[in-house]
A and B are shown apart, each in its own frame.
Chain A
């Protein structure tokens, strides 16, 4: 039961004075899909979302919902629901009236308002506290109320601006799953803004990674993980982030200072070699290295080693972690390596 519409951004640009917040963005979200906008603070995620909602006017470019061009339309004519990072509940209204607000504006008859607010609130598990005001409920409950307010009018597009970032770690995990479940059930097209890559990978069908107002890569979580398009994505997606070693590809290997790695089908020229911490191994053979720091994470540990002058992070099982200052050997995997050229663009392997 997909009632979502597709969302298409075409050459979307937004400038604030001299600051370019979003540059020439092209992107399409399929009906019923959940797409995450991922990127560091200030990269233009919220600005993009607000242009989709109609709060900001694009400096250039268009927004389409299905075949309908919506960028000239007032927000109320776009049929979107939105959850804000601060939740933005109306402090002077009860939760019930907060959730009912969009329906009241549409002059939905009182009985129906009551029914729909109740139903949506039940769906989110806040049916029992509807008579309270926002200040009288917990952060998690406020977040649900904000979600209910966005969903109650059954929008075609649901926009979520860091909806989980003000929740504490425990609730955040369950809220992730719940939002995903609801979105699937309702079939609404959803865009989720986040700067937490784990959240994006866990929840989204596809992830759009932004940096400095520009789209870096738009792909499924698997693709982002296995085939990052450039060093920015490689460094931003995955935790701990990918190790990047600057050096020279020689056609049959990679060289950086004293480090020499034989590679099949290596390119030529200066560039970066990427390898994820979970793919490096501390083994009996390999390159000699010295352990600098060991950070236990519970079941695993991050080991930071120095290898020919490079600092590398290695993820090891708790039981296999070396002692600080130990001399170890580090083995590079044969596959799961990433090649980037001097400008940071991915050049292999295919």
Chain B
């Protein structure tokens, strides 16, 4: 607020207190992953390298190797982000910058889909994937994930394309470019902040995605890290140390991004990305 109250340190204490559970949760995860035993966030006993055995043993309890899951997750996240950025940018460019019949209704449809809760379609999508022969394939889940986030991406990118100068685009056409060339060589480089924002968002969202692979993937060889980790949750005896280590390993990219790109993250999520 423009006027800082004189008693702001008091408010800082309030803020600290309500945020405590988040800090405690993270700390709990880290300590549980590193130590044999933890009591009320105080580590007891020795460091516990055995919590990390999943990194070295080929398989824990008959599961596929974590490296397979890691590879699947990386492929999944990268493919989803690439597809989403590319396809959303193309569509957003057309909507923002080109004349075509039904342009306004198309934009209205995108906006409606943006608010529409896509999870309610899961049951039908299951059926469609089976019909297409894409059930239980990574490609199928990639397509579904990229599609469901597409309205958001188009909406976000349209906002960025709207800012571009018309003169510049006209100049490029007079210089001899086609719309396709303008898109690749002039427009896309100039909406880099948008691409980065959407890309980061898509990467994070796909990296964490659980429901879609859980529903549409059966074979262990296509497991992502989310499925790998979830498979431990169903066990009768829960090995918290091991799971915390797996969780920490899985969430590491997110923590790194959080540590080094806080301001950037805030900007992206404040920029109207869906909650």
Instruction: Give B168's nearest chain A residue, CB to CB.
Output: A88
Q: Is A92 within 8 A of B190, CB to CB? A: yes
Among B167, B176, B178, the residue within 8 A (CB) of A88 is B167
Asked if A153 is an interface residue, CB under 8 A from chain B, the answer is yes
Instruction: Give B190's nearest chain A residue, CB to CB.
Output: A92
Asked if A225 is an interface residue, CB under 8 A from chain B, the answer is no
The dominant DSSP class at the B interface is helix
Task: Please give, as numbers and ranges, the residues of chain B lying within 8 Å of A159 by CB-CB distance.
Answer: 174
Q: Is B176 within 8 A of A106, CB to CB? A: yes
Binds B, one of A72-80, A242-250, A259-267, A278-286: A72-80
**How many angstroms between the C-alpha atoms of A57 and B190 in the bound complex?**
27
**Nearest chain A CB to B197's CB is how many angstroms away?**
17
Interface string of A100-123 (1 = CB under 8 A from B): 011001100000000000000000
Asked if A149 is an interface residue, CB under 8 A from chain B, the answer is yes
Q: Is B171 within 8 A of A76, CB to CB? A: no
Q: Is B173 within 8 A of A54, CB to CB? A: yes
Interface string of B163-193 (1 = CB under 8 A from A): 0010110111111111001000010011000
Q: Is B177 within 8 A of A90, CB to CB? A: no
**Nearest chain B CB to A240's CB is how many angstroms away?**
33
Task: Please give, as numbers and ranges, the residues of chain A lying within 8 Å of B177 by CB-CB distance.
Answer: 76, 105
**Nearest chain A CB to B194's CB is how many angstroms away?**
14
Q: Is A92 within 8 A of B174, CB to CB? A: no
Q: Is B167 within 8 A of A76, CB to CB? A: no
Among B171, B178, B190, the residue within 8 A (CB) of A82 is B171
- Give the size of the chain A interface in residues (CB under 8 angstroms): 28
Q: Is B170 within 8 A of A55, CB to CB? A: yes
Q: Is B173 within 8 A of A88, CB to CB? A: no
Task: Please give, as numbers and ranges, the residues of chain B lying within 8 Å of A55 by CB-CB distance.
Answer: 170, 173-174
**How many angstroms between the C-alpha atoms of A105 and B168 in the bound complex?**
16
Instruction: Give B99's nearest chain A residue, CB to CB.
Output: A57
Asked if A333 is an interface residue, CB under 8 A from chain B, the answer is no
Q: Decide: A101 near B167, CB < 8 A? Known: A92-B189, A92-B190.
A: no
Q: Is B165 within 8 A of A76, CB to CB? A: no
Asked if A30 is an interface residue, CB under 8 A from chain B, the answer is no
Task: Please give, as numbers and ranges, the residues of chain A lying within 8 Å of B170 by CB-CB distance.
Answer: 50, 53, 55, 82, 84, 88
Asked if A86 is an interface residue, CB under 8 A from chain B, the answer is yes
**Nearest chain B CB to A263's CB is how many angstroms away?**
50
**How many angstroms between the C-alpha atoms of A149 and B175 in the bound complex?**
8
Task: Please give, as numbers and ranges, the residues of chain A lying within 8 Å of B173 by CB-CB distance.
Answer: 53-55, 74-76
Q: Is B174 within 8 A of A86, CB to CB? A: no
Q: Is B174 within 8 A of A82, CB to CB? A: yes
Instruction: Give B188's nearest chain A residue, CB to CB.
Output: A92
**How many angstroms between the C-alpha atoms of A241 and B171 in the bound complex?**
35
**How many angstroms between the C-alpha atoms of A87 and B170 in the bound complex?**
11
Interface string of B38-67 (1 = CB under 8 A from A): 000000000000000000000000000000
Task: Please give, as numbers and ranges, the residues of chain A lying within 8 Å of B174 by CB-CB distance.
Answer: 53-55, 75-76, 80-82, 150, 159
**Nearest chain A CB to B34's CB is how many angstroms away?**
46
**How many angstroms between the C-alpha atoms of A101 and B176 in the bound complex?**
9
Q: Is B175 within 8 A of A101, CB to CB? A: yes
**Nearest chain B CB to A103's CB is how many angstroms away?**
9
Interface string of B138-174 (1 = CB under 8 A from A): 0000000000000000000000000001011011111
Q: Is B178 within 8 A of A91, CB to CB? A: no
Task: Please give, as numbers and ranges, the residues of chain B lying within 8 Å of A101 by CB-CB distance.
Answer: 172, 175
Q: Is A86 within 8 A of B176, CB to CB? A: no
Known contacts A55-B174, A102-B176, A153-B176; 9 additional CB pairs below 8 A are A53-B173, A74-B173, A75-B173, A86-B165, A87-B167, A88-B165, A90-B171, A90-B172, A159-B174
Q: Which residues of chain A have a CB within 8 Å of any CB of chain B? A: 50, 53-55, 74-76, 80-82, 84-92, 101-102, 105-106, 146, 149-150, 153, 159
Q: Which residues of chain B have a CB within 8 Å of any CB of chain A? A: 165, 167-168, 170-178, 181, 186, 189-190
Query: What are 21 contact pairs spanning A and B, CB under 8 A?
Result: A50-B170, A53-B173, A74-B173, A74-B178, A75-B173, A75-B174, A76-B173, A76-B177, A84-B171, A87-B167, A88-B168, A89-B168, A89-B171, A90-B172, A90-B186, A90-B190, A101-B172, A105-B176, A105-B181, A146-B171, A150-B174
